[in-house]
């Protein structure tokens, strides 16, 4: 029975990967940069994150994902100015007093990259995208960032152990096997000390040859992924902040997904959270900061669909580093 489920999963993963679905991450809540290039350089330090996700643990051939994200600001006025609206080290950026004295960031540039590899069944896809963003202050408290990403996606299909009736089966020589493809994305991010609002689109390029009605036609190699998100910070007291947020995502020929999230943060020391994705899963998240250098977060997903009977849940862990952190900031003050 387990082999049967593994076989079905491999077939499904093939059809999904040939459409180039972006691998999922529960912890985008702590790293929206994975979905939106407009967050490039949003903070005053170099933000490095290493992530590992094991989806549907206990099921043979289930997806596993590793990723690295790196984001850095550019501009001397931004990096060396009073970017965080406070000068003393160790000040709590989640407190009401910080919000009351917050000013929008100086106009500046941001750059970064996201590298990811995902394996599901017989399919492995790897991609690397370089990102750029420009942050502009619209008022004393509100910033707008516009970002873009460009890179390459590489898909490999391991047909070594596949047995077909004919060696000329189209599966072995399909146009989408073992080839580099361009990948382009775009994003907007509006943010203040109280809220954030973002929209982005990924996988905007790429075509493949196909036969329809005995004619060769060019079809999209990958479906465009569209994301919209928003969140708001509510202070329960001076040191505890509650941040409800949502994410809506859509791909052609796939049902729309909506995530409802809730995060509780104590000062800049630790946080817990919960997330629900319609018709898919429920997640618990937690994380903490070590001084002003390292942060660690973990999430566990439980399926609410029929898949819950054949897997032991999904684990994801992310290790973050705050490099060149001149202000001793212990967590992002602009991503919540």
Domain ranges of the chain: 37-323
pLDDT tops 80 at residue 159? no
Three-state DSSP at 59 gives coil
DSSP designation for 43: S
Per the structure block, which two tokens stand in for 9? 């999963």
Euclidean distance between the first and final Cα of the chain, in Å?
Answer: 44
pLDDT tops 90 at residue 111? yes
State the Cα–Cα distance between residues 138 and 145, nearest whole angstrom: 10
- Nearest CA among 324, 330, 335 for reference residue 78: 324
What lies within 8 Å, CB to CB, of 107 at 6+ separation is 75, 78, 134, 135, 136, 137
State the Cα–Cα distance between residues 87 and 30, nearest whole angstrom: 25
**37-323: which CATH number, 2.40.160.40, 2.60.40.1180, 1.10.40.30, 1.10.260.40?**
2.40.160.40
Asked if 336 and 233 count as a contact pair (C-beta separation under 8 A), the reply is yes
What lies within 8 Å, CB to CB, of 88 at 6+ separation is none
Quick one: pLDDT at residue 39? 96
Quick one: pLDDT at residue 212? 59
State the Cα–Cα distance between residues 22 and 43, nearest whole angstrom: 25
- Nearest CA among 76, 180, 135 for reference residue 335: 135
Quick one: pLDDT at residue 62? 82
Residue 11: its H or E element: helix 2-18
pLDDT tops 60 at residue 48? yes
pLDDT bin (cut points 50, 70, 90) of residue 150 is very high
Residue 243: its H or E element: strand 240-251
State the Cα–Cα distance between residues 261 and 90, nearest whole angstrom: 28
State the Cα–Cα distance between residues 76 and 45, nearest whole angstrom: 12
Strands 314-323 vs 294-303: parallel, antiparallel or unpaired:
antiparallel
Quick one: pLDDT at residue 87? 37
> In this prediction, what percent of the chain has a pLDDT beyond 90?
40
- Average predicted confidence (pLDDT) for the chain: 80
pTM exceeding the 0.85 threshold for the entire prediction: no
Asked if 322 and 45 count as a contact pair (C-beta separation under 8 A), the reply is yes
């Amino acid at each position: 029975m387990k082999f049967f489920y593994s076989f079905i999963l491999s077939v499904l993963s093939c059809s999904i990967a040939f459409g180039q679905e972006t691998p999922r991450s529960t912890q985008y809540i702590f790293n929206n940069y994975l979905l939106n290039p407009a967050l490039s350089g949003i903070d005053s330090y170099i933000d490095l994150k290493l992530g590992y996700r094991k989806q549907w643990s206990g099921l043979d051939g289930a997806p596993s994902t590793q990723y690295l994200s790196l984001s850095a600001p550019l501009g001397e006025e931004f990096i060396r100015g009073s970017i965080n609206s406070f000068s003393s080290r160790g000040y709590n950026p989640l407190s009401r007093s910080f919000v009351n004295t917050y000013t929008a960031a100086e106009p500046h540039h941001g750059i970064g990259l996201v590298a990811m590899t995902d394996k599901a069944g017989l399919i492995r896809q790897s991609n690397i995208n370089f990102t750029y963003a420009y942050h502009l202050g619209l008022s004393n408290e509100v910033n707008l960032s516009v970002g873009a990403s460009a890179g390459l996606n590489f898909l490999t299909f391991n047909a070594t152990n596949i047995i077909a009736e004919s060696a000329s089966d189209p599966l072995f020589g399909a146009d989408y096997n073992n080839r580099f493809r361009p990948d382009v994305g775009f994003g907007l991010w509006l943010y203040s000390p109280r809220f954030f609002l973002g929209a982005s689109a990924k996988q905007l390029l790429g075509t493949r040859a196909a036969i329809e009605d005995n004619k060769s036609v060019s079809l999209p190699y990958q479906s465009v992924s569209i994301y919209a998100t928003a969140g708001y910070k509510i202070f329960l007291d001076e040191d505890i902040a509650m941040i409800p947020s949502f994410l809506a995502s859509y791909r052609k020929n796939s049902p729309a997904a909506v995530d409802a999230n809730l995060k509780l943060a104590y000062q800049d020391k630790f946080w817990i959270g919960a997330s629900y994705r319609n018709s898919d899963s429920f997640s618990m998240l937690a994380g903490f900061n070590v001084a002003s250098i390292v942060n660690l977060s973990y999430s566990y997903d439980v399926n609410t669909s029929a898949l819950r009977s054949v897997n032991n849940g999904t684990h994801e862990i992310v290790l973050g580093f705050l490099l060149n952190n001149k202000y001793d900031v212990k967590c992002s003050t602009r991503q919540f």
